[in-house]
Amino acid sequence: MSRDTAPAGPLIGIKVIELGGIGPVPFAAMVLADLGADVIRVHRPADRAKPPNPVLDRGRRSLVADLKDPRGAAVVRTLIDEADVVLEGFRPGVAERLGFDPALLAERNPRLVFGRMTGFGQDGPLATAAGHDINYISLSGALGAIGRPGQPPAPPLNLVGDFGGGGMVLALGVVAAVLSARTSGRGQVVDAAMVEGSGLLMSMVYGLHAQGAWSVGRGQNLLDGGAPFYDTYECGDGRHVAVGAIESGFFANLVDVLGVAPVVDLAAQRDPRTWPAMRETFTQAFKEASRDEWVERFAGTDACVTPVLTMDEVVSHAHNADRESFFTDSDGTVHPAPAPRFADTPCGRPAPAPLPGQDTRAILSELGHSSEDIERLLTEGAVQ
């Protein structure tokens, strides 16, 4: 599939209004736009002074409206009257105070899906408390499971709460609600909370723990760096490789290519008592050659060894380049390509991130405002 095609995808015909925010809501909007939805981001007037994120803000149109101005809020409500989805990430109660009560909006647009993104959820003792990704994943058990033995939990960027357990779960939720609305004719509120979404991502680990196969101690388990055959290693040039040789056949290939067969007992792979010595053996072996030399040696061996790439290296990697998994825009910015891929309704290359307000006039015109009305709203500051 060419990444140079016009925007397309399985969500063509779905209209989304994104009430501007940070983190998970823009990510959910980006995912929906990547998949073909017509997403209009409602920026606040203050956003005009901020440059857009060239990746996270891609693929939609932008309207600047002052939601605290009744005329600006009325413009946005008119947009919502024709929309399938609203996305918002305010603290509970803020949307209502701004005049965007989902119950009242549903009276005007019964099929509307109102996607709400918070850290703690719309109710409960912490519903209105401040927080960020690290706080939400600390309550789900995810943060406490990540890190090295004897060291504090390690923040996994903001991938687990904001984007995996937040924005992606929100995007899935609103798509499911849109499908339901097509059958029932009624939309609904989607309450997405990052505590619960990141907890959902931990489902397998919770299951393993229930079976006695996962310790709550960090760095002591099969997939958390505790096992020496599932970890990263520094090579002779200071760069790293990732090793995921879990199955016995892959482990045997790892040991063979590393040249450490005489000192590693294949039959004792899963015995934690052997792990400290095994890790030391692997650590010393990988330092004997550069990262790329090891990648060449392991090529085609099914030992589950790959280079740890930096963000500057991903585009040129042979596999990524062949599948066009990443692309570079005209400004040289590296973008992850839309995912997943669809056989019959492929996604196109996303449009560049808009400057805040660059589509305000066109959107107002689509809503039926005359040139005089548009100029008056702009002059009075209701929209910008």
Catalytic positions, written as ranges: 132, 162
How far CA 185 is from CA of 109, 111, 181, 324, 335, in Å, comes to: 10, 5, 5, 39, 37
CA distance 269 to 311: 33
Asked if residues 230 and 236 have their Cβ atoms less than 8 Å apart, the reply is: no
CA distance 206 to 164: 17
Bridge-based pairing of strands 113-118 and 189-193 is parallel
The DSSP H or E segment spanning 118 is strand 113-118
CA distance 228 to 263: 14
CA distance 323 to 315: 10
Closest CA to 61 of 361, 264, 287: 361
Cβ count near 135 (within 10 Å): 17
CA distance 84 to 174: 9
CA distance 190 to 380: 35
CA distance 367 to 384: 16
CA distance 384 to 380: 9
In the block, tokens 């990444």 appear at 3
CA distance 255 to 11: 47
Closest CA to 5 of 327, 374, 383: 327
> Identity (one letter) of the amino acid at 152?
P
Asked if residues 294 and 306 have their Cβ atoms less than 8 Å apart, the reply is: no
